[in-house]
Amino acid sequence: MTSARSGPPGTAAGPRGPAGASVLARAALERYEATEPLVHAFETLESSLVLRRAQAIDRRGAPRGGLWGAPVAVKDIFDTAGERTSCSSRVLEGNVPRTDATVVARLRAAGALPFGKTRMHEFGCGVVNTPTRNPRHPGHLPGGSSGGSAAAVAAGVCRAALGSDTGGSVRIPAALCGVVGFKPTYGLVSRYGMFPASPSLDHVGLLGRHVRDVRLLLDAVRGPDPLDPLTLEPFRPRRAGLRKGPCVLGVPEALFSGYVQPGVAAALAEGLAALRAAPGVTLEPVELPGWNEQFELYVRVSLPELARVHADLVDKHADSYTKDVRLLLEHAAAFPAGELAATLREKDALRTAYAELFTRHGLDGLVLPTLPVTAPPAGTPVFHWPDGTTWDLTQAFAPLILPASLTGLPALSLPCGTDGAGLPVGMQLVGHWGEDDELLALAERAEGLLAPPDDPEAEADG
């Protein structure tokens, strides 16, 4: 059987022969059949449609790129022509778009095979992602809201997947499931055809078994799109040398010890030691700006925008929402929308403060824990800290994720070993605005130094 770490043979790994897409599709479907009864990563998947589309790719002729024929799972938040897009909600259970989201259309153009629609926390409004389970430890949560996409990758069904990241919805499940999760710079990838949550924070997110898988996805989907004017902002040219040359990484040291679980701290300490010992890498102690105010700022930005997005749907379909999301929307509707403009100016000021931090210390990037905790057991509504403090899961997951969410900076979660129970730990890298290629080069460099989580095949097979 295919290893869950390596995935179906050859997926998203390079050019294929003329029959490659059909071969890869059948391998992915076999893995799906073996893992889905336990993992529940997919909202919808029609095997016959997958095979027909794979055959159509084969008929297009010789491969023309690294994604040719590769199955790529698609979060149920993206429009897919002729396939239901429900955001894992009864509110949209009859929604069948006529056109693809831009990122899906670009995947098809690159020769990739969109492979089913993955489960998500309803409308992206949470981090639990029921009923999806963590392939590495099926008694534990995968995180969310892109938990189905992360689980599909971790279970070895696909080497890569599309997700979305508003407040960490790609990086959270990537860390918990032991895969790579990347949030590009805000505006680098079109969001046309992606159901919004908070438009000033929403990003398309990418997941993969390895950094190279994410890089292939980014190359396929990035770039200007007149249907999403935010993508028209010019970005900096590339800087050279970060793959092998000297680099300076800022490390907020206090966040690596007392702020995180002991098992997370131990895995991250090993990861930092590996980075520190690498030729040309300098770790520079830093303090993050706006740290104590960021969660409140995120709430004041995201909730009024969320209420605006759902206003008409709530009026017509309030009873069709799950209880937790309906309560969140009621809470969001109580926020004074008139204060949003001033709040967005605070968010812009935070981005400026981070730019100044990078300049002041001469940083090429930041290194953070992705999460302070590992995957909680399924059914756990809160997290208990050793000092008796109780946080809900959003509070437990969010703080280390939010700097990149609020500033729009590119950020990536890398597997960084496991805790004492074998649960994956993630290390987060944050880069300069618009320098996504440089951040991915840094991440590939770091990936070879950090301990990956154990092979989850046994757990995924149940």
Which residues are known to be catalytic? 75, 145, 169
Which stretches of 40-181 are DSSP H helices? 47-59, 102-109, 147-154, 171-177
Whole-angstrom distance, CA of residue 174 vs CA of residue 127: 12
**Backbone dihedral angles phi then psi of residue 214, each to the nearest 5 degrees:** -65, -40
Residue type at position 455: D
Whole-angstrom distance, CA of residue 447 vs CA of residue 441: 10
Contacts of 8 (CB under 8 A, 6+ apart): 2, 24, 27, 28, 30, 31, 71, 156, 157, 158, 159
Task: Yes or no: say if 297 and 350 are a contact pair by the CB < 8 Å rule.
Answer: yes
Give the residue carrying structure tokens 């950020």.
411
Whole-angstrom distance, CA of residue 323 vs CA of residue 328: 9
Whole-angstrom distance, CA of residue 391 vs CA of residue 394: 8
Helix (H, G, I), strand (E, B) or coil at 213: helix
Whole-angstrom distance, CA of residue 412 vs CA of residue 435: 12
Give the residue carrying structure tokens 């010992």.
277
Q: How does 450-460 read in b/e, with b if 16+ C-beta sit within 10 Å? A: bebbeebbebb
